[in-house]
Amino acid sequence: MNKKTLIVAIIALALDQITKILIESTVKLNTSIKIIKGFFNITSCHNPGVAWGMLSNNRILILLITIIAIIIISRFIKSFKNNTRNNIAFGLIIGGLTGNLADRIIFGYVRDFLDFMIINYDYPVFNVADMAIVIGVILLIYAVIKGEDQSEDNSGRSGRKTRQIPSK
């Protein structure tokens, strides 16, 4: 992982943890503060699972999957073109995964608080780490569409580096 990606990951992790601490210290658990009526609330809640509360009773499985995902993504970075957008994308994903992983390790659940109602659908409550992951994935999808999913080292036909043989 390069320095730029690491910096973005640390910033994403810090913003996630700071916002969770701030909400936890100001909003009582399982209560909401209306910010924009019928659209956005700050709702303090705990999620022992993943998206939409799935795998709620499988903490160890979630921890293992998250750790494996961070390792795979960290190794996968090298296959993408080294540019600012990709560095930001991977940093956001790793920072977001690490933020929620920290919660799961320390508390046994993830602290969520962003609560949106979109077209009469009360979207599941989420946090800054979740936003970082989603934005990072969208940026990587864009990179793939633009053909930036191949680093200069992997751009050859066979996907291997070619070696120049000096002429005599």
C-alpha span between 129 and 14 (Å, rounded): 10
Decide: helix, strand or coil at residue 115: strand
Check residue 53 and give its pLDDT: 63
C-alpha span between 124 and 116 (Å, rounded): 8
Question: Both tokens of residue 50?
Answer: 């993943």
Decide: helix, strand or coil at residue 132: helix
Helix (H), strand (E) at residue 157: none
Q: Which one of 112, 115, 149, 153 is the catalytic residue?
A: 112
- What's the whole-model pTM score? 0.84
Q: Which one of 16, 103, 115, 130 is the catalytic residue?
A: 130
Check residue 157 and give its pLDDT: 37
Q: What is the tens place of the pLDDT at every residue in 36-92?
A: 999 999 999 999 877 766 666 777 888 898 899 999 998 888 888 889 999 999 999
Q: Is 103 a catalytic residue?
A: no
C-alpha span between 110 and 20 (Å, rounded): 9
Q: Is 130 a catalytic residue?
A: yes
32-36 β-sheet, strand order: 32-36, 40-47, 110-118, 121-122
Amino acid at 162: T
Residue 111 pairs in a beta bridge with 46
| Averaged pLDDT for residues 148-163 | 55
pLDDT at 10 over 80: yes
Question: Both tokens of residue 54?
Answer: 């799935």
